[in-house]
Amino acid sequence: MDRDGFVKIVDFGLSKNRFGYDDRTKTKCGTKTYMAPEIYMNIEYGMAVDWWALGIAIYAMLMYELPFDNEDPFELAESILYDELELPEHLSEDVCELINEVSCPQHISNQECALLGYYT
């Protein structure tokens, strides 16, 4: 977490130096089970894909499994692109809202995520 309360998840072998909130990239790299749909779609993406990874990490920590997990890389990509993230009924409404909000980077910016109040 940085000094402004922003969570940073990074595979240090893959991090970009001086990558700002408005910067975009098309690099296709990362741990496949945590990669956002935009990366699989090979479209430009920004830091919002990190929020997707955070949502997947939170899910994995709570459920002891990944929401999208398949040995076949093509089936994994298809699942991430087209399957809905299913949240068990026993999770609290707040946790479900948090995971849903951060797991849709194409619809929400980093600044909007911060305004939700979960990250400070």
Measured CA to CA in angstroms, residue 25 lies from 19, 67, 96, 97 at distances of 9, 25, 29, 28
If 0-12 CB within 10 Å is exposed, 13-18 middle and 19+ buried, where does residue 73 land? exposed
pTM over 0.85? The answer is no
Q: Other C-beta atoms within 10 Å of 114: how many?
A: 16
Looking at domain 32-115, does it have CATH number 3.40.640.10? no
Q: Tell me what pLDDT residue 12 has.
A: 53
Q: Tell me what pLDDT residue 15 has.
A: 63
SS3 64: coil
Q: From first to last of the 120 residues of the chain, give the pLDDT tens digit.
A: 667 777 666 655 566 666 666 777 787 878 899 888 888 888 888 877 888 888 898 899 899 999 999 999 999 999 998 888 889 899 999 998 888 887 775 544 544 544 554 443
Report the distance separating Cα 37 and Cα 43, nearest Å: 9
